[in-house]
Structure 1
Amino acid sequence: MVPAPAPSREGGPSVPVELTDDELQLLAEIATGVTTDVAARRLELSARTLRRRLRAICDQLGVNTPIEAVVWAARKQLI
Structure 2
Amino acid sequence: MTATLDQPLRAAHLTAEELAVLALLADGLPVDAVARRLNLSKRTVQRRIRRICDRLDVHAPIQAVVWAARHKLI
TM-score bin, normalised by smaller chain: 0.7 to 0.9
Counterpart residue number, 2:60? 65
TM-score (norm 2): 0.85
CA RMSD between the two structures: 1.7
C-alpha separation in 2, matches of 1:32 and 1:50: 15
SS at match of 1:67: helix
C-alpha separation in 2, matches of 1:40 and 1:60: 21
- Counting strand residues as a fraction of each chain, which structure ranks higher? 1
Counterpart residue number, 1:4? none
> Which consecutive residues of structure 2, in runs of 5 or more, have no partner in the other structure?
none
Larger Rg over CA atoms: 1
Q: In percent, how many aligned pairs have the same letter?
A: 51
TM-score (norm 1): 0.80
Runs of 4+ in 1 over 4 A off after TM superposition: none
User: Which structure ranks higher in relative contact order (CA pairs < 8 Å, sequence separation ≥ 6)?
Assistant: 2
> Which consecutive residues of structure 1, in runs of 5 or more, have no partner in the other structure?
1-6
Counterpart residue number, 1:27? 22
